[in-house]
Amino acid sequence: MGADSPGREVRPAPHPVVCGTIPQVTSRSDAAQHLSDLAWLRRVRDRIDREYELPLDVEALARGAHMSAGHLSRQFRLAYGESPYSYLMTRRIERAMALLRRGDLSVTDVCFAVGCSSLGTFSSRFTELVGVPPSTYRRDAAGATAGMPSCVSKQVTRPIRTDRSVRTDRSVRNREAPAPEPRLA
């Protein structure tokens, strides 16, 4: 029976079919899928915040979010502006800064306490994000936040990732406002 046969109605396809493409086979809308992905990405970010001192890798995080490692990395970067690994290292460096300010632990102890397994990688990343080596930070920052509430000191000392290709002084790298020149009357 052909399409011209009497008694047979020809219906259009539910989705427009374009040659060379696979029609959508999921019942979820794009918006619903996006919201679901965002919820999983928040769970991944929360897991990194909770378990930063554990040996986390993108593959393990992706398995927990029911995504491939590549998809997780792309979606995480779109949502938060950095890769999961960069976010993890930023959290580790933030915690390291707090431990170094206390002054009672060596740089090596702090490195391993925050989950880094290589002192060289830790020092390089710390210097990249903070602008000074961890030993210098430990020496100079021990009393810098004395008397400051922890919620304020955390905000003031938070490292801010910038474009790696731009190498500038510490105040620009950490996006701190330049100190105004004093007015002399």
Q: What is the pLDDT of residue 38?
A: 87
Q: Exposure pattern of 103-129 as b/e (b: 16+ CB <10 Å)? A: eeeebeebbeebbbeeeeebbebbebb
Mean pLDDT value of segment 169-177: 40
Cα gap 178→170, rounded to integer Å: 11
Flag whether pLDDT at 156 surpasses 80: no
The answer to whether the Cα torsion of 65, 66, 72, 78 is positive or negative is negative
Residue 172 pLDDT grade (very low, low, confident, very high; cuts 50, 70, 90): very low
Cα gap 24→77, rounded to integer Å: 25
Q: What is the pLDDT of residue 110?
A: 96
Closest CA to 85 of 59, 50, 105: 59
Closest CA to 41 of 64, 15, 9: 64
pTM: 0.64
Give per-residue pLDDT as tens, 82-122. 999 999 999 999 999 999 988 889 999 999 999 999 999 99
Please answer whether residues 110 and 134 qualify as being in contact, where contact means their C-beta atoms are separated by less than 8 angstroms.
yes
Please answer whether residues 23 and 17 qualify as being in contact, where contact means their C-beta atoms are separated by less than 8 angstroms.
yes
